[in-house]
Structure formats: C-alpha cells, structure tokens
Amino acid sequence: MSKAIVQNNFQFPNQKGHYVGKVRDVYNIDDQYLVMVVSDRISAFDVVLPKGVPFKGQVLNQIAEKFLDATSDIVPNWKIATPDPMVTVGHMCEPFKVEMVIRGYLTGHAWREYSAGKRSLCGVALPEGMVENQKFDTPIITPTTKADVGHDEDISKEEILAQGLVAKEDYEMLEKYTQELFQRGTEMAAEKGLILVDTKYEFGKKDGKIYLIDEIHTPDSSRYFYTEGYQERLEKGENQKQLSKEFVRQWLIENGFQGKEGQQVPEMTEEYVDSVSERYIELFEQITGDKFQKADVEDVAARIEKNVNDYLASL
C-alpha cells in the first residue's frame, strides 16, 4: 500500500489558521511563523490528481531547502528550519501580489505566445526569427499576477507600477534578486549537466525587509533541460530532454485528459504511482547531486506532528 500523505489537518500550538493549496498545507503559528507541510499530492492542468505520490513531498521540500540555503547570501529567505523531511518552518511575511517569472529560453508559455505571432511578452520585446527552445541573449523577466482564484495572468512592469501592486523601489529590488537567483541556479544546474530553463520566485516583506518565500528551483516550479544533446536537438528541431514533471502531463494527455470539462482523470494504478515516485527521486538526485534518503513512512502524519511540535516547543 502507498505511504503517501494527501490530506492533513494538524492542530499545532498557537495555531491561528490553516491554508490548503494544491500541494502545500500552510499553518499560521501566532501570526509569526508558518509551518509549510509539502504533501504528496500532485497536480497537473490545475487539477489535483486523485492519488498521492510517495516521497514527492520529501523530494520537493528537500530540493527547496538545498537551494534556499545555497542562495541566502543573495537575499534573506523565509526558512528558519526543516524539522521534518516534508516540513519547512519559517517567517510569516506579507507576500507581494506578483510572481517573478524569469526565462532563459524561448519555451513553454513564451513559445506558445511567440508562435502565435506575439513579439512582446509582459512588456519585453522579443526578437524576430527565434525558434522553440532557443536561448535568449539575456534572461527575460515576465511577471504574473498572483490569482486567488483561477489562473495567474501575465503583467508588465509598467502595469505593476501603474496599479500600485508593488512600489517602484521594491520592484527594482525584486528584479535584481530574480536575476541573481537565476544566475546562481544556472551555475548550480550546469555543475550537474543541466540547464535551468525558466523558473519563478515569490517574495514577501517582513519588518520592512524583502524575503524570498515559498519553494525555489524544484521540478514543480522550474524547467530543466539536459545540457548534453541540447544544441543538436535545437538544430534538428527536436524536443529537448526535460527534467520536470512534464512526464506526468504527457501521460495525462496520452490518456485523454487535459483538465477540460467532461474529461476523466485516467486510472492511476499502483504501478503507475510507484513509477512517478521513482521519477521524482531521480529528479532529486539529478538536481542536487545527493543520494535520496527515504524517510520512515510507517505513519507519516504522526511523524510530522511529533517533529513539528518538538521544534515549535524549542522556539
């Protein structure tokens, strides 16, 4: 039987609220700290799939932990501790109302817009004559709104400032941090034979200071290509070999599901779920260069509750 944790409803000391996202459950502790539990839920096409994937939460949490630690010299981040393989405890910040998306290559959403004839994305001019997956001369920042309901929408720097979503001085710092984080992530990926293609960062403020919040450089928030064979595939117009959860989307598409009305999620057999779990563990080892150590999953909820309670008692 699978040992995935899909739902949780903990009651921690001094808990003031509990937010359930697609994958993460976030607990407000006394309006000071956040306890983020990264579940084993998996989403695609804005739909949470019916079965969880064992160890997925641990993979995402520990990749984010590694990159938060590796970039803390660039910008302070929200993380204080990871008391459990699936949990990060950090500072409660007031999030900015935009997500900072940065793209080093013309792929995904940017390519779809470009191939439809658009030569401007979020106010950034795109040169003529580019092909899918081609590298930009310099990475471009294409922010999105943070939608409470529905999809995030593309937005330009000018619109962000005009609407007062972020103050000019703060926004310029967000751009600077975004470029520096992407550069660091690019260098770390290159050491592992990978290309960091595009990613997104979220920022917040606490006591007047900007913090990096949420996850960074995980396969759920970022796209990676393999360096080996990249140029050859580009020249032949072939698809790039990717390191992301794209393989889950592809499986859904092949089985007639793209999140549209009336479509049914295909059956997720135990064999399929196990194969996804193995792919996530591969992702972890490729991105971090570390051997994945499976946590004890005999009673995941009890383990998390004990570890978090012990940690909160020490604050």
The CATH number of the domain covering residues in 95-243: 3.30.470.20
Q: 83 by DSSP, 3-state: which?
A: strand
What's the pTM value of the predicted model, to 2 decimals?
0.91
User: What is the domain partition of the chain in residue ranges?
Assistant: 15-93+247-314, 95-243
Please name the helix (run of DSSP H) or strand (run of DSSP E) that holds residue 285, with its range, or none: helix 270-288
The sign one gets for the Cα dihedral 17, 20, 26, 32 is negative
d(CA 88, CA 105): 31
**pLDDT tens over the chain, length 315 residues:** 457 888 888 999 999 999 998 899 999 999 999 999 999 999 888 888 999 999 999 999 999 999 999 999 999 999 999 999 999 999 999 999 999 999 999 998 999 999 999 999 999 999 999 999 999 999 999 999 986 655 679 999 999 999 999 999 999 999 999 999 999 999 999 999 999 999 999 999 999 999 999 999 998 889 999 999 999 999 999 999 988 887 898 899 899 998 888 999 999 999 999 999 999 999 999 999 999 999 999 899 999 999 999 999 998
CATH fold of 15-93+247-314: Phosphorylase Kinase; domain 1 (3.30.200)
- Contact criterion met (CB below 8 Å) for 69 and 75: no
